[in-house]
Structure 1
Amino acid sequence: MSHHTPSSAPPRRIRRIVLLGLSVLGLAGALFVVRRPLMMSAPRCMSGRWHGCYDTFNGVVLMTLVALPLSVLVVWALAHRRRAVGVASPWRMSLAEVGMVHGTVPFLWLTMMPGGSPGIAPRRVSLIPLRDLVTMGTGGIVGNLLVFAALGFFAPIRFSALASVTRVLALGAACSVLVEVAQYVLWLDRVSSVDDVLVNATGAALAALASRRWWRTGAQAPSDRSRPAPVPAG
Structure 2
Amino acid sequence: MTAMATLWERWGVVLTVTALALPVAAGVAAAATRRRRRLGEPTAVAWYRSCCEVGAVVGTVPWLWMVFTPADGPGGHRLVPLVDLVEVIGRDVGDAVVQIGGNLAVFAAAGFAAAARWRVPVRWIGVAALCAASAIEAAQAVLDIGRVSSVDDVLLNVCGALIAARLGRRLSVPAVAPA
User: TM-score range, shorter-chain basis?
Assistant: 0.7 to 0.9
- Specify the alignment match of 1:124 in structure 2: 76
Please name the residue that 2:106 is paired with: 147
User: After superposition, what is the alpha-carbon deviation per residue over 1:139-160, rounded to whole angstroms, capped at 9, x for unaligned?
Assistant: 2011111111111111122223
Partner of 2:11: 57
Deviation, 1:174, is: 1.3
Q: Which residue of 2 aligns with 1:104?
A: 60
Residue 69 (structure 1) aligns with: 23
Larger Rg: 1
Distance 1:74 1:65 in 2: 15
In the alignment of these two chains, the number of paired residues is 164
Which residue of structure 2 lines up, in the alignment, with residue 92 of structure 1? Answer: 48
Tell me by how many angstroms 1:83 deviates: 1.0
Residue 69 of structure 1 and its aligned partner are, at CA, apart by: 0.7
Matched AA of 1:147? V
User: What CA distance in whole angstroms lies between the structure 2 residues aligned with 1:171 and 1:92?
Assistant: 23
1:83-124 Cα distance to aligned partner (Å, 9 max, x none): 11114621111111100100000001001111115xxx3x52
Aligned with residue 154 of structure 2, among 188, 192, 197: 197
Contact in 1 for aligned 2:118/2:178 (Cα 8 Å): no
Instruction: Please list every run of 5 or more consecutive structure 1 residues that lacks an aligned counterpart in the other structure.
Output: 1-33, 42-51, 223-234
Q: How far is the alpha carbon of 1:221 from its aligned partner?
A: 3.3
1:67 aligned counterpart, secondary structure? helix
Amino acid of the structure 1 residue aligned with 2:165: A
Runs of 4+ aligned residues of structure 1 deviating over 6 Å after TM superposition are none
Task: Write the letter of the residue equivalent to 1:135.
Answer: E
Q: TM-score, normalised by structure 2?
A: 0.83
Instruction: Say which is worse superposed, 165-174 or 125-134, in terms of deviation.
Output: 165-174
Q: Which runs of 5+ in 2 are unaligned?
A: 89-95
**Deviation for aligned residue 1:216:** 7.5
Higher relative contact order (CA 8 A, sep 6+): 2
The alpha carbon displacement at 1:73 in A equals 0.6
Contact 1:97 1:158 in 2 (8 A): yes
Alignment of 1:1-234 (within 5 A): 56-87=10-41, 89-117=45-73, 121=74, 124-136=76-88, 137-160=96-119, 162=120, 164-215=121-172, 220-222=177-179
The TM-score with structure 1 as length reference comes to 0.64
Where 1:125 maps in the other structure, the secondary structure is strand
Q: Secondary structure at the match of 2:146?
A: coil
Q: Tell me the secondary structure at the aligned position of residue 132 of structure 1.
A: helix
Report the identity percentage: 39
